[in-house]
Structure 1
């Protein structure tokens, strides 16, 4: 089992003066949620997610060797324009990963990044953003160390991405990704995400996720603050145990194709996540009235049609509508007819399961 020390770079035999890489990395949506973390971005419980396909960040990293000045230096462009308010997060990320990537101070970087989905639309862009940046950094490391194995490359990408944004480690490789040590998932680790090790039933191939943008505003409580509130939470230990149990259940569900059981776990996990927020001190509510309207409409539609549609939520107001590809026409008709009115400016995004980061 790899430890943090295994990700510290050894001195390289190769050198490289300048160049560039470009990767896209997707967002992801957790089915079993992680809420609460220990030091160094270690999750308090394991989680499992669907990798998305269309909601992604595209990042180009250009690098040029510089004189030793003992500093991280970089320019940052978001959608072609300088983005000063993103820079502190990148600076902090570089500081956090320096021990594992000591070569970073030897280069000046130009980071050009853009999202395929609207920024600040309430979809977790830190996961896709940090995953895309980490793919590029590790491409530089692989150029310096050509003998690196593909397995180590992807494990270290996920390891680095986690240090930028916890859930980013699930946006690197695979359609279904587990992050966090779990007794029934071979190779699972708190340090990086791993591809779901079993065969996934045909029912879950090409699964659809239509994201209803209920509220695009900035959350009144950041995820970082929310995670911290789990330290003294009265229900924390029960929640962490429940997550382990639900991951065991969803492993069996993904193998067997049981859609009814999938719906129960996915929706229960979403509501439990928000219940943790509502029962912490201080307590807070990130759902909006229209979130609840949509949930009730989904329940009514499912009861009346027996179509296996369900919802999940991130730490926000927006609703992810999950359903198999073979009912796509009926579900989109329902969304357009009955749910779009609850979205801010009628905005929603059609997405589906993807496979992870792609080199461009």
Structure 2
């Protein structure tokens, strides 16, 4: 499906006002997306678990306005006005205007809240941008009765990508692929798609407990981090590695091979951080407690033959991944040995989920 198929037509008889509310979750990449081309196109494919509990709920209320020469909107987080969010949303609106022709016809009130603390160090751009994109796309669906459910979700993912790359993986679940890959026919650089192949029971209801090592602001923004891949000495090898790991995961998911799953997921996490450490300028995003947790997980796995493993985003926090049948024992391990390395002892229990949901609509 080409980008032109998402171009919006001009609409007449626009409603005077209305509102939509969507919730959308975050996601955690197993094969990492790191490095992008123009227009938010990924340099390599990625695959992620959709989360369930870490989500954003967004209400977009819209009122028709007289002048159509600019964007008009206000943003609230937890009922508090957030003007510092406006530049990012303005950029998003500019990118998606060809795809949603009515954006300058309305004043929008965007009200958003997260189930996780905004300062928790969990990236809210994936959940936030996907929820916002779903609300805006719902307006177009109201205007065009020919829009199918399949087209709707693809276009929401397409729009969300233009706000935050990883947001395109949050609309569906439980496993989503983004980026063209030869072995996954429907895969696309333009939007995320549900993983189409067989998934072994071992990977159903998988758990993700997020250990909040550092709740501070990111040392380096995702945009800056991705841009550092442009002249990176190991970029091409990294992109090839991502393709290879995604190919291997297809068989891993089919057979339920947890040992190989652990090897790929942990290697991907460490490679992401290795890319940052070998870029110019270079960054070390892990903290001492991140390394303590990783070593504790390795020791526990060796002692108990557990199938627990870790992954990391571009920061210090640790996602502890483990199968459903180990929930009780791994949570005991976390409470006994890992909580001490979390900031204020904070962690979030999450598990695989199934994407965004429409909560309310009023036209």
Instruction: Please give the range of the TM-score, normalised by the shorter of the 2 chains.
Output: over 0.9
1:136 aligned residue: 135
1:300-344 alpha-carbon deviations (Å, 9 max, x no partner): 000000010000000000000000011100000000000000000
Point out where structure 1 has 5 or more consecutive residues left out of the alignment.
none
Whole-Å separation in 1 of the counterparts to 2:160 and 2:97: 13
What are the equivalent positions in structure 2 for 1:147-158 lying under 5 Å apart? 147-158=146-157
What are the equivalent positions in structure 2 for 1:73-92 lying under 5 Å apart? 73-92=72-91
CA shift, 1:75, in A, is: 1.5
1:29 aligned residue: 28
Whole-Å separation in 1 of the counterparts to 2:146 and 2:16: 19
State the secondary structure of the residue aligned to 1:102.
Answer: coil
Whole-Å separation in 2 of the counterparts to 1:174 and 1:271: 25
2:190 aligned residue: 191
8 Å Cα contact 1:16/1:143 also seen in 2: no
1:211-268 alpha-carbon deviations (Å, 9 max, x no partner): 0000000122111111101011010000000000000011111111110110000000
Whole-Å separation in 2 of the counterparts to 1:201 and 1:109: 44
8 Å Cα contact 2:9/2:101 also seen in 1: no
What are the equivalent positions in structure 2 for 1:251-266 lying under 5 Å apart? 251-266=250-265
1:169 aligned residue: 168
Whole-Å separation in 2 of the counterparts to 1:162 and 1:358: 18
Whole-Å separation in 2 of the counterparts to 1:116 and 1:186: 35
1:102 aligns with 2:115: no
Point out where structure 2 has 5 or more consecutive residues left out of the alignment.
none
Count residues in correspondence.
Answer: 359
Whole-Å separation in 1 of the counterparts to 2:21 and 2:270: 37
1:15 aligns with 2:36: no
State the secondary structure of the residue aligned to 1:99.
Answer: helix
What are the equivalent positions in structure 2 for 1:52-63 lying under 5 Å apart? 52-63=51-62
Return the TM-score normalized by structure 2.
0.98
State the secondary structure of the residue aligned to 2:99.
Answer: coil
Whole-Å separation in 1 of the counterparts to 2:81 and 2:14: 30
8 Å Cα contact 2:207/2:351 also seen in 1: yes
8 Å Cα contact 1:13/1:145 also seen in 2: no
CA RMSD of aligned residues (A): 0.8
Return the TM-score normalized by structure 1.
0.98
CA shift, 1:14, in A, is: 5.5
1:287 aligned residue: 286
Whole-Å separation in 2 of the counterparts to 1:14 and 1:108: 16
Moved more, 267-276 or 84-93: 84-93
CA shift, 1:13, in A, is: 5.9
Moved more, 296-305 or 254-263: 254-263
Whole-Å separation in 2 of the counterparts to 1:237 and 1:113: 38
1:349 aligns with 2:363: no
Whole-Å separation in 2 of the counterparts to 1:126 and 1:186: 28
1:302 aligned residue: 301
1:328 aligns with 2:327: yes
1:187-213 alpha-carbon deviations (Å, 9 max, x no partner): 100000000001211100000000000
2:236 aligned residue: 237
State the secondary structure of the residue aligned to 1:297.
Answer: helix
8 Å Cα contact 2:205/2:352 also seen in 1: yes
Whole-Å separation in 2 of the counterparts to 1:11 and 1:105: 12
CA shift, 1:68, in A, is: 2.8
1:5 aligns with 2:1: no
